Chain A
C-alpha cells in the first residue's frame, strides 16, 4: 500500500500542531511493513511568509521519502486585508472571495498539485484543511483522499469554498469527538467514512532533573504552560489571571511559559518564560509542575495535555475549548476554568490538595494509555485506510484547483 501525505510544511523544525501530527503519523506508517510512505510538501518553513527556504526535490527524513516543491509566491499583504473583510461574516462571503482567501492563505505550489495529480499512490492523506495544498490536492487527486481536518471553531471553517472541498473528501480522520461534531455540523458530512484517531504520545525523555531548578525557581512550585506563547493561545489571559491570583494568594507558586515567544515576555517576579527548550528540558519541567495549564480555546487535539498526563501531572484547561474539555471529561484527568473566579478556585484547590492532583494525573495517564498508545493507533489507522481504498474510485468532484495568485505586496515579518 502506498500512502502519500500532503502537508504545507514538513520537518522536525516546523512548529505547528497539524504539521507535527502529520510527521508523527508519516514516520510510523513508513516503519510499518508493506507500507510505502511519501510526503509532498512545500519548501517553506514559515506559514506567515511561505518563503522558500528548503531546497526543492527529494530527501529522506527519518525513513520517510519527502518531496519538496517551491511556493509560487510569498504571502501577500492583500491576504490580511481580505481576511479582515471576511472575518465579520465569513458565511456571507461569495464563492470567489472564499477561493481568493484560500489561495492567498496559501501555500500555492502548482508543481506539488501536478505531482498529486500524477501520483501512483493508493491513497492521499491531506493535513490540515486550512491550506491551499489540501484544497488543491482534494481537487487533483486521482485516488481516494482522506483529510485530517485539524479543525477548530474559527472564521475560515465557514467560508463556502471549503464546503465543496469537504464534500469531495473520501474519508475523514479526526483528532477528537469534538472535532468530528464540529465538522459534521458545519459541513453535513456525517455519512462519510471517518475515524477518531488522535495522536500517540512518546515516552517521556526527561533526565530526572528538577524542573524548578531548570527554570531558576530554586525549588518553588510552579504551574506550567507548554507550547507557542501567543495571545491567541490564551497566554495574555493566563498571565493576567495568574498575576491576579498571586495578588490574592501570596506564596511560592510560580508560572512558567515554556515554548517559543510570539511577543515580549511577561515581566513579573512570579512568571518565567523559557523560549524554546530541548525535549529533555521540556519533560523535566513538565514532570515537576503542580499542573499544566492549557489556556488556549482553539485546539483540535492538544498533545501537550496527554504529555502532561504521561508525565504524571494534572491539567487545567480552558472550558471554551471543546477538544481539551473532551479529554478532561472522558478521562477525569483535569479541571477547567471559564472565568478568573474558577481559575482561582481550581488553582487553589490543586495547589493545596496533592492527593487530588495525583488522582487526576493517574486518571489522565490511564486514559492516555488506553486510547493513545501508538501501536494500536497505527493499526487502526492502517485498517481505516485499507477500508477507504477498498470502497473504490472517487465520486464526481465538485472542486477545481485554486487560481495561482501572485500579485500584491509581499508580506515581511516585522520581528
Chain B
C-alpha cells in the first residue's frame, strides 16, 4: 500500500480540497484493511473483541448506520449467559465452598438463565429483523431520491445587489424577531438587512462563501436550508428569505421546505420568495443547472396557491430582472419610436419579465 504521499498545494485558501486528498488516502487504507480482513490473519474472536473495545468507548449517537451491524454483534455476543460460574480461589477452602455453592444452586440458576437466554435471543432476533428492514427501506429511499445537482452547477448567491433586494429589505422591515436568509451566499443581503435594523442571519451550504461572511462578522453558518429549518423552533422566526434553489429543487423537497418554513414563521411573520419565471428560466438559467435540476420554477400565481395551503397570504408580487431583451431600433431612425413601442408591447405580452418576487404573511 502507499500511493498518495503528498498533497498538492498545501497552503493558501485556494489549495486543493483537503477532503478529496484525505478521502484518497483513507480509501487506500480501507482497501488495505479489507484485504487483511479477507486474509483472516487475525483470529475472528480477537478481531471482534478489539472492535468491541472501540465501541465501548464510543458515544452511541456517533456510531451511525455503519456501526449498526457491529452494535448488533455486541447484542448477539451478550445474548449468551454462561452458567459455569468460576470457582477459582486463592484459598483451597474457598474453591471448595464455591464449587459446593455452584453445585447446590445449579438447578435454580439453570432455570433462570434458560429464560434469560430465551428472552435475549428473542430480542436479538427482533433487532436483526429491524436492521434488515431498515437497510431495505434505506436502499429503497436512496433509489427514489433524484441525483444531486453538482455544486459547481449552482451559482453562489450574492443577492444584496439584486433588483429585488431593496424590496425584500423594505418588506421585512417591520419584522420583530430574527430573520433568516436561506442560501445567503457571502451574506450581502444579510448585511443589507442588518444595516436596515433587521435582526438578520443566514445559512448557506457553500463553505467558502460562509467563511467570507463569517470573517466579516456576520452570523452566517455552513448549513443547507432544510437542515437549518429542522433545528429552528416552531414559530421561531419573524421572517424568511427563501432559498434560490426552491425554484428548481425536486417537488417533494420543495413541498417539505415550504411546510417547514411556514411552521417556523411566527404568526404575522413575513416570507419573501424570489424566483425566475418559467420562461425566464428557459432563457437565462445556466446550462448545467437547467439540464440537471430536478424541478422547474413555478408561476407566481401557483406560489400564491401553494402558500395559502400553509396559512400564508401573498401581500405583494413584483416582477423584474430584465426580460428577453429583444433588440430595439436606433432611436434616430425614422419611425423608431413606434417600432420600439411595439417591441415593448410584444415583449410584455409574449415574453414578460424574467423574475418575480413574492411577499407573503403568515396569517394563521
Contacts and interface: CB of A to CB of B under 8 A. Distances in A.
Contact of B232 (A191, A194, A345, A346): A191
Nearest to B62: A320
A256 interface: no
B143 interface: no
B237 interface: yes
Interface stretch (B48-56, B98-106, B161-169, B328-336): B48-56
Interface in A374-398: 376, 380, 383-384, 387, 391
B222 A177 contact: yes
Interface string A353-384: 10110111011001100100000100010011
A359 B5 contact: yes
B18 to A, nearest CB: 2
Contacts of A320: 54, 57-59, 62-63
A358 B5 CA distance: 9
A330 B63 contact: no
A194 B214 CA distance: 11
Interface stretch (A10-18, A132-140, A142-150, A228-236): A228-236
Interface in A172-231: 177, 180, 184-185, 188-191, 193-196, 231
Interface string B141-163: 00000000000000000000000
A359 B59 contact: no
B178 interface: yes
B59 A152 contact: yes
A338 B221 contact: no
A387 B33 contact: no
Interface in A310-324: 318, 320-322
A349 B18 contact: no
A360 B26 CA distance: 12
B180 A345 contact: no
B21 A332 contact: yes
B57 A180 contact: no
14 contacts: A191-B178, A193-B201, A194-B219, A237-B57, A329-B19, A335-B26, A335-B29, A341-B37, A345-B29, A345-B32, A360-B7, A362-B11, A366-B11, A366-B15
Interface string A55-89: 00000000000000000000000000000000000
B326 interface: no
A153 B236 contact: no
A244 interface: yes
Interface in A231-269: 231-232, 234, 236-237, 240-241, 244
B237 A191 contact: yes
B29 A349 contact: yes
Nearest to A178: B62
Contacts of B19: 329-330, 332
B22 A188 contact: no
Interface in A337-354: 338-342, 344-346, 349, 352-353
Nearest to A370: B13
Contacts of B53: 236-237, 240-241, 340
A366 B15 CA distance: 10
A243 B45 CA distance: 17
Nearest to A360: B7
B175 to A, nearest CB: 12
B75 interface: no
A328 interface: yes
B231 A189 contact: yes
A191 B180 contact: yes
B343 interface: no
B217 A349 contact: no
A328 B18 CA distance: 9
Interface residues of B, number: 56
A184 B231 contact: yes
A320 B57 CA distance: 9
B6 interface: yes
Nearest to A192: B178
Given A297-B58, A329-B19, A383-B217, A190 B5 contact: no
A355 B232 CA distance: 45
Contacts of B237: 191
Interface string B220-235: 0110000011111100
A380 B217 contact: yes
Given A154-B59, A342-B33, A356 B4 contact: yes
Contacts of A298: 59
A344 B54 CA distance: 13
Given A237-B57, A356-B6, 7 more contacts: A190-B236, A195-B219, A237-B54, A318-B57, A339-B54, A340-B50, A341-B33
Interface in B43-83: 47, 50-51, 53-54, 56-63
A331 B18 contact: yes
A131 interface: no
Contacts of A237: 53-54, 56-57
A332 B6 contact: no
B1 interface: yes
B216 to A, nearest CB: 9
Nearest to B22: A332
Nearest to B2: A353
A336 B26 contact: yes
Nearest to B51: A339
B3 to A, nearest CB: 10
A191 B236 contact: yes
